[in-house]
Amino acid sequence: MRRLIAALSDALAAAGIRVTSRFPARTAARLRAPLVAVGLKGGQGGPPGLGEYLGTAENGEELYGRRVTLEILMRIAAPDGQSAENTAEAVCDVLLRGVDGLQVERFAVGQPSFDAAADHCAMDVAATVSAYLWTQPPEEDAAVLDFKLEGETI
């Protein structure tokens, strides 16, 4: 799942958005520009078909794997409400353009609120994304130890 979160984090960073996996201690004392913490809120996965069979690759090899659906929370911390809203808009732009390897199914944007204890404005963007994790067929009685990320396309 870390690869899926990393794919989204990389897309946000490529769009010029400051990204972290979690807010460092004493964020408010150093917060001069918006920062987005990207994390997994929940998820589920399962085989898309019989025996985890996905289909055949262009080179003719069979692919096996799972389809996963994740709930991702992006919490924005910003010095003020306007910069939180601008950052939320930039995050939504990335989600609308699409993220390599992920299919963004839906997303929702919360209202900005001032966090007095942390002395910054907070705002959430939640997204539901799906992806296929796949691999070539394992040898008989071998465990699948590594998956590649492949998103659905529209």
pLDDT bucket at 12, cuts 50 / 70 / 90: very high
Tell whether domain 2-150 is in CATH 3.50.30.10: no
Residue 47 sits at the vertex; the CA angle it makes with 41 and 51, to the nearest 5 degrees, is 160
User: Can you tell me which residue has the tokens 């910069």?
Assistant: 83
**Residue 141 C-beta-side C-alpha neighbours within 13 Å:** 0
Where is pLDDT greater, at 141 or 3?
Answer: 3
| Interval 45-57: pLDDT, tens | 766 666 667 777 7
| Interval 99-153: pLDDT, tens | 988 889 999 999 999 988 778 899 999 999 988 777 666 555 555 555 555 554 3
Task: Please say whether the beta carbons of 43 and 71 come within 8 A.
Answer: yes
Task: Please say whether the beta carbons of 68 and 44 come within 8 A.
Answer: yes
| Interval 58-109: pLDDT, tens | 888 777 777 889 899 999 999 999 999 999 999 999 999 999 888 899 999 9
Where is pLDDT greater, at 29 or 93?
Answer: 93
pLDDT value of position 147:
53
Q: For residue 12, with 0-12 CB atoms within 10 Å meaning exposed, 13-18 middle and 19 or more buried, which class applies?
A: buried
Task: Please say whether the beta carbons of 76 and 88 come within 8 A.
Answer: yes
Torsion from C-alpha of 48, 52, 58, 61, nearest 10 degrees: -170
pLDDT value of position 152:
47
